[in-house]
Amino acid sequence: MSDQRILVTYLTQAKDLQKKAEGIAVGMTVGSWTDLPAAKQAELQPYLGEAAGVTPLETLPNGDTRGLVTVSYPTRNFTVDIPSLLTGVFGKLSMDGKIKLVDIQLPDSFAAGFPGPKYGIAGVRRLTGTHGRPLAMSIFKSCLGMPFDDLKTQFRAQALGGLDLVKDDEIFFADDKAPFYERIKAFRHISAEVAEETGKQVLYAANLTGPVTELVERAKRAVEAGAQCLLVNVLPFGFDILHRLAADPDITVPLMAHPALAGAFYPSPDYGIATPLLLGRLMRLAGADLVLFPSPYGNVALDKTEALQLANNLTAANATLKPSFPVPSAGIHPGLVPQLFADFGVDQVVNAGGGIHGHPGGATEGAKAFVAAIDAVVAGRSLQEAAEQSPALAAALAKWGK
């Protein structure tokens, strides 16, 4: 593995992009080169980065060229973890003017050291008993300060609609009224009761919180309490905690990555980390089975090209990593399901909060509307046609349109 190379692409601007690439290659590895004596150059050569390609995109008014530069780094420079990777290819460089980290391509031998998804798409489908269609998920809305009995009622209402997953809101840290382990046990019991009634089991994704030093142990205790899935705010805690959770053999449930804090990294065209890398490739590498990201349709919409690239990074064939479920989120209502299906295909999770809880008939009817919409698009039927047999979908379309 020591002679393998990692290819890293940046979007930047300079008078001379080739010279910029060469400066990055040296500056992010051995620090200096031409001033070193020959003996020292020979010693450091195996650790030296190399300029691997330049793609000019536009000439700016100041005469600079804006474009993509690719630098090749030896794998021997890194330990097999994302903190090492991000520090080694973008740490101090991220403060060097207008430069954005666009992509990281790892050789299979290096990527094999990361856990990747434990379940992946096939495993989550197996757990939910769902095949041949997108999954449907809802989000708890109103959780902070809510009495436990109200949350139980809310969970049951969502589950009765035929959903595949129900997840906590990512802000659910102050849970004194519905403590983490207790609600896992309670919702597991309700899920079993609903399955007896409807024949459909719903997985509950509990928000894993606490000091980062305790998260692995809390996750193990959650599994013992009957957890079916865990939601992780990966970026606030750091990618490495996702890696450690996914790699632990005692944490035997899918991990769902939330994009909280991602907006601090990706929106600028000139700075930060591109979403297909940040929420796509790196989340999959670290072990997320399901990854939420802004949909191209809501009020925090992600550029559609980037969203599709992100989803492709989660699902593309890979020699060492299982695929992760893309979960385009925010602004989703039943009328958008045909567009979601056209854009992201069968292997996605249709995720909604207000689109379920805001249904005129309540959360159960909201969930039924999504299930009916998903069944319709998979069968090649229009939503209008499906709404003739589904009052819940008809009511949703009347409220949100198509």
State the catalytic residues. Answer: 92
Sorted by where each begins, the domain ranges of the chain are 5-111, 120-400
* Cα–Cα distance for residue pair 40/17, rounded to 1 Å: 27
* Architecture in CATH of 5-111: 2-Layer Sandwich (3.30)
Question: In this predicted structure, what is the pLDDT of residue 35?
Answer: 72
What confidence tens digit (pLDDT) does each residue in 351-380 have? 999 999 999 999 999 999 999 999 999 999
- DSSP letters, 116-155, are --SSHHHHHHHHHT--SS-EEEEE--S-TT--HHHHHHHH
Average pLDDT value for residue range 244-265: 98
203 to 162, 209, 227: CA distances (angstroms): 11, 19, 9
Task: Copy the structure tokens of residue 206.
Answer: 């509990």
Is 71 in contact with 51 (CB distance < 8 Å)? yes
Mean residue pLDDT across the chain: 95
Amino acid letter for position 32:
S
Question: In this predicted structure, what is the pLDDT of residue 3?
Answer: 67
Split at pLDDT 50, 70, 90, the class of 337 is very high
List phi, psi (to 5°) of 122.
Answer: -65, -40
> In 10 A of CB 174, how many CB atoms?
10
What confidence tens digit (pLDDT) does each residue in 95-116 have? 999 999 999 999 999 999 999 9
* Cα–Cα distance for residue pair 282/111, rounded to 1 Å: 11
What is the CATH code for 120-400? 3.20.20.110
pTM of the model: 0.95
Predicted confidence (pLDDT) at residue 142 exceeds the cutoff of 70: yes
329 Cβ partners below 8 Å, 6+ apart? 292, 293, 294, 295, 298, 351
Bridge partner residues of 5 (DSSP)? 74
Average pLDDT value for residue range 326-348: 97
What confidence tens digit (pLDDT) does each residue in 41-75 have? 778 889 999 999 999 999 999 999 999 999 999 99
Residue with tokens 């013992």: 224
Predicted confidence (pLDDT) at residue 1 exceeds the cutoff of 50: no
Pairing verdict, β 99-105 and 5-14 = antiparallel
